[in-house]
Structure 1
Amino acid sequence: MRVEIWSDIACPWCYIGKARFEKGLAAFAHRDDIEVVHRSFELDPNRAKGDTAPVIDMLAAKYGRTREEAQAMEEHVAATARSEGLGYRTEGRVHGSTFDIHRLLHLAKDRGHQDELLDLAYRANFAEERSVFDTDVLVRLGVEAGLGEDEVRAVLADGSAYADDVRADEREAAELGATGVPFFVIDRRYGVSGGQPADVFTQALEQAWQGRVLTPVGTAAAAACDADGSCEIPPA
């Protein structure tokens, strides 16, 4: 059975949702029979390469908040991430175009290292002092994930490499009705939207495995990042 996950490296709820999904998968009896595929979804597809801004400034502008309020928003997300055992920096991070990262993830998929690269990229973006919008950082992440340095540099230097694959994923997400990420599709029959609790993912996997007639499940307050780049905090 296949699980496809649409996400963006810039989305904190995708970072958290991946951790929760993996906990839900670990509790699923048939976890060894599940194939997980990560697919591309850019929250800011019109942002030019090299156009970066501090995350706090971006949040303040997007939501019409003060920098102090934006910082508080980040602290809330950070607390949620840390409750899942994830590292999360609330200062010093930047926001930018994730198109090159998605292209590199498609190369990693072809080479059997997609999940490793995604984990490294999330960690670099949210927990470490490394900007994933820097080409040299992306090269190092690719090599750490098991890719060849020359091949990584060649893909990053050629803006057309894997570009069609990224766009195809994004078109497919739209066709499936995804308006935000993370978005999980189980066996092409069942969708789970947002960073749901781990037990929701376990339940969804169990229902899909049993071959039931399925409808979407989950908590209404599950957090996600919308297609316009908004990453809402669910109500308490």
Structure 2
Amino acid sequence: MRVEIWSDIACPWCYIGKARFEKGLAGFAHRDGVEVVHRSFELDPGRAKGDTVQVTDMLAAKYGRGPDEVRAMEEHVATQARSEGLGYRSRGRDHGSTFDIHRLLHLAKARGRQNELLDLAYRANFAEERSVYDEETLVRLAVEAGLAETEVREVLADPDAYAGAVRDDEREASELGANGVPFFVLDRRLGISGGQPAEVFTQALEQAWGSRTVTMVGGGEVCDADGACAVPDTASDTASDTASGTASAQATAHS
């Protein structure tokens, strides 16, 4: 069975959702028969290379919030990440174009090192003092993941290298109806939107393994196609996070 995951390195719910999915996969009896493929989705496709801003400034502009509110938003996400054993810096992170990162992830896929590079990029972006929007940092991460430095630099120097693969992934996401990430497609039978709890992923894997029906499971936190990441405004919203993880299944199509 193949699981395809559309995500963006700039999306905190993708970072958290990947960890939750992997926990759910670990609880699946047929996990050794599952192939996981990561696919590209840019949350800010119009942003030029080199145009970086502080995440807090981007969130303030997008949501029209003050500094205290933005810090509270980031602390909420940080709490969710830490509950999954993930590091998360709620201040001092950059936001920029992820197109080059996606191109390198396709190179890494071709070399069998995609998951390694994705994990390193997520950790650098969300937990460490390293900006994934700096080209030299990106080169070092790719080399850490096991890619050849010469090949990495050749790809980064050629804007057309793997560009078509990135655009194909994004076009396919649109055709499948994905308007936010993370977006999981299990064997082209089941779609899951958002960073669901691990047990939801385990149940979905079991359903996809034996089902011929395409079903959409919604309700998890996502970053949408406009780059907005769902964050509750109030304590009552925060309390509802657990309830939102209990997703309702809606039949959308048949294979």
> When the two structures are superposed, what TM-score results if normalisation uses the length of structure 2?
0.90
1:231 to 217, 229, 232: 229
Aligned residue in 2 for 1:189: 189
- 1:45-56 equivalences under 5 Å are 45-56=45-56
Write the letter of the residue equivalent to 1:106. H
Residues 151-198 of structure 1: CA distance to partner in whole angstroms, max 9, x if unpaired?
Answer: 001101111100000000000000000000000000011100000000
Please give the alpha-carbon distance, in whole angstroms, between the structure 2 residues aligned to 1:126 and 1:151.
Answer: 26
Write the letter of the residue equivalent to 1:51. D
Given that 2:189 and 2:211 are in contact with CA atoms closer than 8 Å, whether structure 1 keeps it comes out as no
Aligned-pair CA distance for 1:30: 0.4
Aligned-pair CA distance for 1:122: 0.1
Count of residue correspondences: 234
Write the letter of the residue equivalent to 1:112. G
Write the letter of the residue equivalent to 1:230. A
Write the letter of the residue equivalent to 1:147. L
Please give the alpha-carbon distance, in whole angstroms, between the structure 2 residues aligned to 1:58 and 1:223.
Answer: 19
Q: Percent identity?
A: 78
Aligned-pair CA distance for 1:91: 1.2
Please give the alpha-carbon distance, in whole angstroms, between the structure 2 residues aligned to 1:111 and 1:169.
Answer: 18
1:130 aligns with 2:144: no
Aligned residue in 2 for 1:139: 139
> When the two structures are superposed, what TM-score results if normalisation uses the length of structure 1?
0.97
Residues 48-107 of structure 1: CA distance to partner in whole angstroms, max 9, x if unpaired?
Answer: 000000001110010000111111100000000000000000111010000000000000
Please give the alpha-carbon distance, in whole angstroms, between the structure 2 residues aligned to 1:38 and 1:73.
Answer: 27
The structure 1 segments of at least 4 consecutive aligned residues displaced by more than 3 Å after TM superposition are none
- 1:104-183 equivalences under 5 Å are 104-183=104-183
Write the letter of the residue equivalent to 1:72. A
Unaligned 5+ segments in structure 2 are 240-255
Aligned residue in 2 for 1:81: 81
Which of 1 and 2 has higher RCO (CA within 8 Å, sep 6+)? 1
Indicate the SS of the match to 1:37: strand
| Backbone CA RMSD of aligned residues | 0.9
Aligned residue in 1 for 2:69: 69
